[in-house]
Amino acid sequence: MKGRELHEAIMELARRRGFFWPSFEIYGGLRGFYTYGNLGTKLKRNIEKAWRRFFVDPHGFLELDTPVLNPLRVFKASGHLEHFKDVMVECLGCHRVFRADHLIEEEAGLEYVEAMGEEAIRRLLQEKGIRCPECGGDLGEPQEFLTMFQTQIGPMGGEPGFARPEAAQGMFLNFKLGFHHARERLPFALAQIGKVMRNEISPRRGLLRLREFTIMELELFFDPQEGHCPWFKEVSDESVKLITEEMEAEGFKKPLEVTLGEAVERGYIKTEWQAYFMGVSKRFITYLGVPPERQRFRAHLPEERSHYSTQTYDHEVYLESWGWIEVAGHAYRTDYDLKAHQKASGVDLTVRRADGSRFLPHVVEPSFGLDRLVYVALEVAYRKRDGRTVLALPRWIAPIQAAVMPLVTRDGLPERAREIWSQLKGAGLTVEYEEKGSIGKRYARQDEIGTPIAVTVDYQTLEDDTVTLRDRDSWRQVRQEASRLPELLRSYINGERAFDELGRPL
């Protein structure tokens, strides 16, 4: 199953099983907004925990939680008011509005049209004879559109404000306090997970392009005269697939495979810090279930790069449904943001070196779209086996870690099953109890929502207090004492044991 068919199958599963669905449906819906159900919320939170485990906790980085609404002066200083724009076109017939670069990509089969710039977009619309995909009508003149939501802060007009399109500015505005809390030592980082909003012209592809979404961002501040990353050796031998700026400009699409150490040495990546986070990013995305061969890093050309970046690599993964899509951006922002806010606010944001000189720190930023990662995890995990759907999520991010079910609903089996369910919950595991329907149908449902282990209480349980453990992916079964389940299942979910180590094979 590929392409649109696979995407639709996942979206149908997500709705039916309670991962996510379009918001505001009772009022007809509104494109670009999705609501997460119980399973989707748990999956999302587990991916957040994994991100912290890779990017924040090992280094003792600091976390922030800053406002979603910001006054106009913040985004005027940061350059977003001038630069955070896309080109849109309106159909003169049905008056549907489209993002011009996406329309060209879909209708003409081109890639990365945004990187070509506004003039090229205008020219391609003419040359390719692009018409409205809805009604076939003529398109109007392309025009720029500011993709930030605007509002007023306070009554009677108040102060103009905008919903943040990224979380980064909150870290830059609070750099001075963050530096103080980091004991005034560089390097240090501020991290944030939170909602952002972008007034997308034509949201599409479900969770891959939203108007409100969750972002996971980290700003690493360092002295450009001391650009060595103390952890770089941990990833320097990591092999990555790169499409450099030069390759992108010349149209070479076959990635260059090099180690991160070689990439820094040859100048493909400007700083060890950026290369380090790219290595961590590859490991993190692999941890979510994406094989390394379906990952690459593609450099932005100058026309595509954000105004604040001197080098950006997108971390892309290959999906059977949509091809290569971005899941993270790795930007070298230099001192652009701190310099801009220092100039606009009049507050000194420089720090002092040991020799007494003062400077503005440079910044590298790994930024992840959490909602995209939810969809990616689901698609990569989607399997068909004997006509049944199996969601083979990595067990450490699965929303439900184990399901407990009695073989039948009589003779004391439900009562013992509920005792075991309560025991596992008390041990900190995310466990579901299920007794409705045949045992086969219950197994099938748990496979479909990605539950790694099913615990079955049967008549033998009443004799020797052992239970059957069933593996989601292989459908193999083992037998184990109920009293050992908390310890064994915790180690299994954490990846410390294989399924065959959980008990005696059946």
> What pLDDT, in 10s, does the model give residues 158-209?
889 999 999 999 999 999 999 999 999 999 999 999 999 999 888 888 999 9
User: What integer is the mean pLDDT of 33-39?
Assistant: 98
Q: Are 54 and 287 in contact (CB under 8 A)?
A: yes
Torsion of CA 137, 142, 143, 144, to 10 degrees: 110
How many CA within 13 A on the CB side of residue 115?
16
The closest of 311, 216, 245, 316 to 273, measured between CA atoms, is: 311
The closest of 294, 338, 285 to 175, measured between CA atoms, is: 338
Instruction: Give, as one character, the DSSP assignment of residue 91.
Output: B
The mean of the pLDDT values for the chain is: 94
C-alpha distances (whole Å) from 417 to each of 414, 422, 423, 468, 482 are 5, 9, 10, 12, 10
The radius of gyration computed from the CA coordinates of the chain, to the nearest angstrom, equals 25
- When mean pLDDT is compared across 10-24, 51-65, 300-314, the lowest value belongs to 300-314
Q: Are 6 and 379 in contact (CB under 8 A)?
A: yes
d(CA 396, CA 454): 15
Share above pLDDT 90 across residues of the chain, in percent, rounded to a whole number: 81
| pLDDT for the residue numbered 298 | 96
- Give 40's pLDDT tier (boundaries 50, 70, 90): very high
The distance from CA 496 to its chain's CA centroid, rounded to whole angstroms, is 25
Angle separating helix axes 272-287 and 38-51, nearest 10 degrees: 140
Please check the confidence at residue 445 and state whether its pLDDT lies above 80: yes
Domains and CATH numbers, the chain: 3-84+147-379 (3.30.930.10), 400-505 (3.40.50.800)
- Give 156's pLDDT tier (boundaries 50, 70, 90): confident
The closest of 361, 44, 433 to 175, measured between CA atoms, is: 361
More confident residue, 87 or 58: 58
| pLDDT for the residue numbered 316 | 98
| pLDDT for the residue numbered 56 | 98
| pLDDT for the residue numbered 391 | 98
User: What integer is the mean pLDDT of 328-341?
Assistant: 97
Residue 58 has a CB neighbour count (10 Å cut-off) of: 12
Q: Are 150 and 161 in contact (CB under 8 A)?
A: yes
d(CA 131, CA 267): 43
- When mean pLDDT is compared across 242-256, 333-347, 417-431, the lowest value belongs to 242-256
| pLDDT for the residue numbered 217 | 98
Convert 331-342 to b/e letters by CB count within 10 Å (16 or more is b). bbbbbbbbebbb
- Give 244's pLDDT tier (boundaries 50, 70, 90): very high
Q: H helices then E strands: how many in the chain?
A: 17, 27
